[in-house]
Amino acid sequence: MATDEYSIPVGCFGTPGSYSYRAMMGHFDGKPITPTYYGQFADLVQAVADGTVRYGVLPIENSSTGGITEVYDLIHKYDCRIVGERYLKVEHHLLAYGDTKLEDIRTVYSHPQGLAQCRKYLTKHADWTVCPYYSTSQSAQFVQKERRHDIAAIANSTAADMYGLTILERDVNDNPTNFTRFFVIAPHSEEPGLADKITLVLTVHHAPGALYHVLGHFFYNDMNMTHLESRPIEGRPFEYFFHIDVMGSMKDPGVVRTLQALERTCKYFKILGNYPSDKEGISHETRAHW
């Protein structure tokens, strides 16, 4: 890893070999970076906010489980901005040490989410003990450190390479089309440039039709909404934030006008970022527009 003076300090969720690590490598695409790894979302977002690192890379949404409320809340709390996104296909493999054979395995380690994503595969091996671990990549690291033949990890091929493990079985995840979405965050917004996607968070007044009228702003101004998710507000049970993605640029005066008008009708309104959408990770046709 380059650590010279031109290197960009980047905070990355998880450990080397994690899905966030892959997203980081993809986003910075050969630019010199100095990564620091964080095991907790809160520590990472705080490090971005206080300038310890210049960017942070962390998961925000999984196509099988939906958005990660905690990450939205933290970006919000620490007043960070989304400056990029990245989509990564979930590809879990069964990893083991050296010449371990399938029949040697007694226990499989992975992150609870990783285990959940391989439920069908694990059901076929009902004699294995399934053990929740801190992360997919850390479970790979654990298997490498233990050097035992009765354990295996579920993680991606980057983790296999990184920890020198053997891929015993490929693509053990139930769903071959699962994606995870990652945000690249910074303490301030960046010059939009090619930015074409806007992430908003808002709350509405408790009144019939409140959300209907919010969506009307996008509909009547021909703005394409690609994501809407209601998430509970911590400490105010069953009050909700709406996380909304719309296509558009803050360089477009019509977009700015629409958002200003919308803001006036909301109880709370904040633009979390305007950034270039990831056009490689997932094809345009599979994205929603409502």
The binding site for its own copies (CB under 8 A) comprises: 42, 62-67, 69-70, 112, 116, 119, 132-134, 175, 177-179, 204, 206-212, 215-216, 218-219, 222, 224-225, 227-232, 234-240, 282, 286-290
Question: At closest approach, how far in Å is the CB of 31 from its own copies?
Answer: 28
Question: At closest approach, how far in Å is the CB of 83 from its own copies?
Answer: 21
- Residue 145 burial (C-beta neighbours within 10 Å; 0-12, 13-18, 19+): exposed
Question: At closest approach, how far in Å is the CB of 146 from its own copies?
Answer: 17
- What phi and psi values does residue 149 have, to the nearest 5 degrees? -105, 0
Angle among Cα 98, 99, 102 to the nearest 5 degrees reads 115
Question: At closest approach, how far in Å is the CB of 64 from its own copies?
Answer: 6
Which residues of 53-143 form beta strands (DSSP E)? 55-62, 66-67, 81-89, 93-96, 107-110, 129-132
Instruction: Return the amino acid letter for 125.
Output: H
Question: At closest approach, how far in Å is the CB of 148 from its own copies?
Answer: 19
| Beta carbon nearer to its own copies, 3 or 175 | 175
Answer for the pair 228, 243: CB distance below 8 angstroms, yes or no.
Answer: yes
Distance CA 185, CA 41 (A): 12
| Beta carbon nearer to its own copies, 6 or 238 | 238
Answer for the pair 92, 170: CB distance below 8 angstroms, yes or no.
Answer: no
| Beta carbon nearer to its own copies, 70 or 190 | 70
Residue 53 tokens read as 């690192």
| Beta carbon nearer to its own copies, 135 or 144 | 135
| Beta carbon nearer to its own copies, 63 or 107 | 63
Residues comprising the chain, all counted? 290
